[in-house]
Structure 1
Amino acid sequence: MDKPTELTSEDIDKFVENLMNSEIKKNNCFKCGKRYFGGYGHHISECDECWFSRFPKEQVTEFYRSFFE
């Protein structure tokens, strides 16, 4: 069984450093035009909101809930 991801202060520091150095870039969703960072639909240039809109609400809720179990 997989263990939950644990963020450390070093992980957050590295993210902020990368963000400040512009290594993490915002993208434009081709569907709605919203600017976003990566995400599950990034491989097809979609923000998470547009990506998850194609799935039933119950399935999306179950997916997000799994992160807290």
Structure 2
Amino acid sequence: MSKPDLKPVEERVAPTPTPEEIKAFLQADRLAREQRAMARIQQVLEEERCLMNPVMVLSTNSVSGRIEITAKD
């Protein structure tokens, strides 16, 4: 029984993404995660009949923000 003639397989190298492609991919992923999170937050606020109120607090040499949740009724 003879062995079949084996031919070497050409090495395939996956293309390396450019820094711009990586940056675009990461930005798209971040945006998608932010949108999913906001959709879940909005759903919970509607179910609980609440409002989300962003508040900016101004004090000497600083500005800080917070979010207050208040019931609609």
The reply to whether TM is greater than 0.5 is: no
Query: Which structure shows the higher strand fraction?
Result: 2
Larger radius of gyration: 2
Query: Which structure shows the higher helix fraction?
Result: 1
